[in-house]
A and B are shown apart, each in its own frame.
Chain A
Amino acid sequence: MRGVSDPRQARVDYMLKCQGCHRPDGGGDDQSNPPMKHIVAQFLGEPGGREFLVRVPGVSTVDLDNVRLANLVNWTLYTFDAAHMPADFRPYTPEEIGQLRRQPLRLERAEMRARLVAGFTQENAGTHTP
C-alpha cells in the first residue's frame, strides 16, 4: 500500500473515526452514509474526484492531523476498493491533505457525489457495450 506508513494506526483510526457510520466493511448504505466498498477508488479517475474524497465533511473536519489523515485516506482506498486503484496512483501527501481540507464541502456534497458517480457509471457502461 503506497502512502500508508502505518497500516495498524490506519485501521484503529478507521474504527474510531469512520466505521461507526460507514460500517466495519465500508459497505454503508444509500440513505445515510455512502458506501465506499468497491466504489471509493473510482472517484480518483473523475475530474475533481481526487479532491472530493478529501473535501467531504467526514474527512476534512476529522480531528486527526494531516500525517495521520493521509495515512488513513490512502489505507481506505487500498482496503475497500483495491480493484479500482489506478496503476499510476499518486498517494495523498500530508501537504495535499492540508490544502484540500481547508475547503470542506457542505450541503453541495450530495450533488457533487451524484455527478461524479454518474460519470464513472457511464464510463463503466461504455466499456461493457461493444
Chain B
Amino acid sequence: MIGFDKWTERLTRRVARGTSRRSTLAWLGATITGAAVFPVLPVARAASGSPHGGGGGHAPVSSGNPQDPGDQASCDYWRYCAIDGFLCSCCGGSVSTCPPGTEMSPITWVGTCTNPADKRAYVISYNDCCGVSSCGQCLCNRNEGDRPQVRPQSNNDYNWCLGTESSIYNCSTAVIIGVASE
C-alpha cells in the first residue's frame, strides 16, 4: 500500500511540475467546447432526411389521391418546388387553405411544378397567409424558377402579403390554378 502511495505521489508531483494550471484550464475549456460543437456538425443534419431543411416532426398529410402523391407536410412535396416560407400544412391550414385567423393574400407569385404522377407541369399559385406573426413550422426554401429581385413578379424573397388588411406574414400555400401547355 505504501508503494502505491509513493507511486501516486510521484506521478502527481511530476504532472504538477510538467503542466501549469492555465494549460489545464485551456485543455478543459477546449474539451467542453468541442463536445458542444460536435452535434452541430452537418453529419447530424444529413441524418434527418430532408434535403431542404424543415418538414420533420410533423405527421404526414396525404391527399389520398394517387394523382397527387406525397406528404403535404414535407418540403419534398411536388407542389412546393418554388416555395420559400413556412408550410401552411404544418400551421393549422392546408396546402390550399390558410390557418384560422389569417387572411389569404390576393396578390401572389405564380410558378410551375411537375407532378410526379403524370409528369405534367401544373401552374401553382403560392398565396401567402397574412395577419398573424410567422408560424415558424416546416420552413421550406426550394426556389426552383426563382428570379432575382430585379424581377419582383418572379421573386419569392419579397413579402407577398399585399392587398391584405395586414402585411404580417404567417405561412404559404401552394394552390393549383391550371395545367401549363409544355
Interface residues of A (CB under 8 A from B): 8-9, 11-12, 15-17, 19-21, 23-24, 29, 31-33, 58, 61, 63
Contact = CB atoms under 8 A, between A and B. Distances in A.
Contact of B123 (A8, A12, A21, A63): A12
Contacts of A19: 110, 125, 177
A3 B180 CA distance: 21
B interface, by DSSP: helix, strand, loop or mixed? Answer: mixed
Given A19-B177, A24-B177, 17 more contacts: A8-B181, A12-B178, A15-B123, A15-B178, A16-B111, A17-B153, A20-B108, A20-B125, A21-B153, A23-B106, A29-B163, A31-B163, A32-B107, A32-B162, A32-B163, A58-B153, A63-B154
Contact of A63 (B109, B110, B151): B151
Nearest to B162: A32
B178 A21 contact: no
Contact of B110 (A16, A31, A32): A16
A23 B181 CA distance: 20
Interface of B: 106-112, 123, 125, 151, 153-154, 162-163, 177-178, 180-181
B173 to A, nearest CB: 14
B127 to A, nearest CB: 9
A8 B181 CA distance: 8
A32 B123 CA distance: 23
A12 B143 CA distance: 20
7 contacts: A9-B181, A12-B181, A15-B177, A19-B125, A20-B153, A31-B163, A33-B107
A32 B154 CA distance: 16
A19 B127 CA distance: 12
B154 to A, nearest CB: 8
A11 B177 CA distance: 11
